[in-house]
Structure 1
Amino acid sequence: MTTYRAATPADEPGLHALWAVCFAAPQLLPLYRSDPDRLPRTMVAEGSDGVEAVVYWLPRRVRNAEGGIDLVGGVANVATRPDARGRGHIRSLLGMALESMSEAGCDWSLLFTGSPGVYESSGYKVFSQSLTRGPLAAATRDTSGVRRASVAEWPLLAELYDRHNAHRPLTTVRSPDDWRHRVPAHYDDSVDLRLAEGSGYVALRWHDTSVEVLEAAGHLPELFSWVAAEAAARGVTRAEARLTPGEPALPFLFAELETVADTSGMARPLAVDPSPTLASPSAIHWVADYF
């Protein structure tokens, strides 16, 4: 017999073991442990031999289409033990999580997945975000003011982030705790963080022949010219950026560009319909704010 309930401290070793089987995501446990109220929002399916499935959610403050703030229930760490799949555990646990979100006053719910079919029966619908990609431009500006930065300098980054995203739909309203814990978990040593002092920053992940722009804020032409120059030095020829087509600095990064749809996001209304926010042409959910 399966019992559906909120997690207790005794469940944590089993949860960690389950996630280790299902995910190759080193940031998962640090992010989970950084949430002091995680256990009442961690829904588990317990069988005769321990935890068989889990759904975790956390409250996040997200900009809406009007520039205000919605309280959003972010779903994360969804997993079922391989020998317990096909029993409807996730749908049952999502039902508990959605009820918990409503009780907490959440306006809508958000998740990111490569398996949308798991969530559609619980009322979630896919939405699209813009990804811009193409061959890199030649560097055309002086880039001597660009330097390597660290997430330890978060007050500088936070000021630029807040100004850049003050009215941008789907962005997270980051707290100091987010900058101290959540951002470093995503932007570890594999991410190249560059700052133009007082002007802007970019977070990059380099590959053999391409570079990903994971996040960008502020005045970007000098930073994008630095990316183009560094790419040429590395033999990198292409970029992909989580930027909308209306970003005015794109010509400093791309010689040519195309916009493609990222359909990994799903949302579900609770008290508010998120459709206007999700459909906004300037909407972005930055990588460091994934749950």
Structure 2
Amino acid sequence: MSAVLVRSARAEDQSALAALWAAAFTPPLAPDQWLVDDERLDHTIVAADDDGVCGSIYGLPKRLRESDGGVAQVHAIGSVAVAERARGRGLARRLVSATLDAAGDADWALLFTGTPEVYRSSGFTTFSMPRTMAGPWAASTTAVEPASVVRESVGLGVLGPLREVYERSRTAAVVLAPVRSDRDWTMAEVRLRGATLYRLAEAETTVGYAVAEVRDGVGLLHESATDPTVADPAAVRRTLLDAVAADWAAAGVRTCELAAPALAAEERAVRAFAPAAVRQDDRTGMIRPLRREARVDGIRHFTAGDYF
């Protein structure tokens, strides 16, 4: 068994990293989101033995909203993978330590995982957030499909008109919601690629949107936002969800999973759209203080487009 070197990623590691992620994750993790990060090699640490790359970790700088109205510099950790031949040797812990050492001026670190026991010894603690509502779904018999909603398939460059609405909807309202950089928006376009963007505009200005799709018969609402400064935000939400409902009814959707922050106005809209859906707590998030403790009291939410 050869010695393992932990080091910064190099350009020649890219194909090996793609192969590692395809083997280590279920479903396989495609490198598409990682590839749109122009600084990906600086943000990635690998482990290598005599046979090549056998481990990885990705540390992405993000700006996340906190409960005091401020914004934290956060070291967002993902793509933690160890090849089967290198497991059982504490390599994941070494990779975590290395990425934390490279976190720079980050206030705290964040990751999402289904195996929290791996990270507790590195100082991470679990938190929960009400991320989705899930359950049976049926189209309303009174809903009318609105003609004013524009539909478009999500791809690179498509989410640009949503930026102001997204920021206004999250500022001072949703803890953990990123202040999205250009890179964050591009990564969201990659993660949400192929889903349908439903966009409502007034005087050529976007006032609300939803991103949704049907997958294996399940209706998925990935993200939505409404400009809180419009005259009737509730009507905007209702119009967007009516458009989603029309497509889901045509597709025969009977079950749904709806990502929405637990804000009162959002809850009312989602409950009207899916009365039988039940709020689900997500407990996959973990935080570790770096320069200070995280300030994440309040209504927390993280959308599908923002995972890393």
Which residue number corresponds to residue 180 of structure 2? 174
Residue 164 (1) aligns with residue 169 (2): yes
Secondary structure class of the residue paired with 1:118: helix
Q: Deviations over 1:169-219 (max 9, x none)?
A: 11111123332x212211112x12211223211111213443111101114
TM-superposed deviation, 1:283: 1.4
Superposed counterparts of 1:101-140, under 5 Å: 101=103, 104-130=104-130, 131-136=132-137, 138=140, 139-140=142-143
> For residue 22 of structure 2, what is the aligned residue in structure 1?
20
Equivalent position of 1:192 in the other structure: 196
Match of 2:231 in 1: none
Larger CA deviation: 26-35 vs 9-18 = 26-35
Q: Identical aligned pairs, as a percentage?
A: 33
Change beyond 3 A, Cα 1:27–1:48 = closer
Q: Distance in 2 between matches of 1:92 and 1:63?
A: 29
Aligned residue number for residue 252 of structure 1: 272
Partner of 1:285: 302
Q: TM-score, normalised by structure 2?
A: 0.85
User: In the alignment, is the contact (CA less than 8 A) between 2:37 and 2:183 conserved in 1?
Assistant: no
Are 2:274 and 1:271 aligned? no
Distance in 2 (CA, whole Å) between partners of 1:90 and 1:84 is 10
State the shift of 1:21 in Å: 1.6
Is 1:183 the counterpart of 2:203? The answer is no
* 3-state SS, counterpart of residue 18 of structure 2: helix
Is the partner of 1:21 in helix, strand or coil?
A: helix
Name the stretch that deviates more: 79-88 or 222-231: 222-231
Secondary structure in structure 2 of the residue aligned to 1:149: strand
Q: Name the amino acid aligned to 1:225.
A: D
206, 210, 213: which one aligns with 1:205: 213
Does the C-alpha gap of structure 1 residues 229 and 17 become closer, same or farther in structure 2, counting only changes over 3 Å? closer
Q: Secondary structure, in 3 states, of the residue corresponding to 1:61?
A: strand
Contact 1:61 1:173 (C-alpha < 8 Å) held by counterparts:
yes
Give the aligned residue type for 1:270.
L
CA deviation digits over 1:108-154, x for unaligned, max 9?
Answer: 11111222222121111221121212333615355221220354343
Does the 8 A contact of 1:44 with 1:55 survive in 2? yes
| 1:239 corresponds to which of 235, 238, 256 | 256
Contact 2:127 2:283 in 1 (8 A): yes
Q: Residue 89 of structure 1 corresponds to which residue in structure 2?
A: 91
Per-residue deviation, 1:251:
3.2
Q: What one-letter code is carried by the residue in structure 2 that aligns with 1:155?
A: G
1:222-237 counterparts in 2 under 5 A? 222-237=239-254
3-state SS of 1:220 partner: helix
Unmatched 5+ residue regions in structure 1? none
- 8 Å contact from structure 2 (residues 60, 75) kept in 1: yes
Instruction: Give the corresponding residue for 2:150.
Output: 147
Total equivalences in the alignment: 284
Aligned residue identity for 1:265: G
**Contact 2:57/2:96, CA 8 A, preserved across alignment:** yes
Relative to 1, partners in 2 of residues 1:95 and 1:27: Cα closer, same or farther, differing over 3 Å? closer
Structure 1 residue matching 2:147: 3-state secondary structure: coil
Give distance in 2, aligned partners of 1:91 and 1:176: 31
How far apart, CA to CA, are the structure 1 residues paired with 2:146 and 2:217? 22
- CA 1:141 to 1:283, structure 2 compared with 1: closer, same or farther past 3 Å? farther
Conservation of the 8 A alpha-carbon contact between 2:133 and 2:259: yes
* CA spacing shift, 1:18–1:208, aligned 2, 3 Å: closer
Per-residue CA deviation, residues 64-88 of structure 1 (Å, 9 max, x unaligned), is 1122211111111111111111110
- RMSD over aligned CA atoms reads 2.1
Q: Distance in 2 between matches of 1:212 and 1:229?
A: 14
Displacement, 1:163? 1.4
Supply the AA of the counterpart residue of 1:196. L
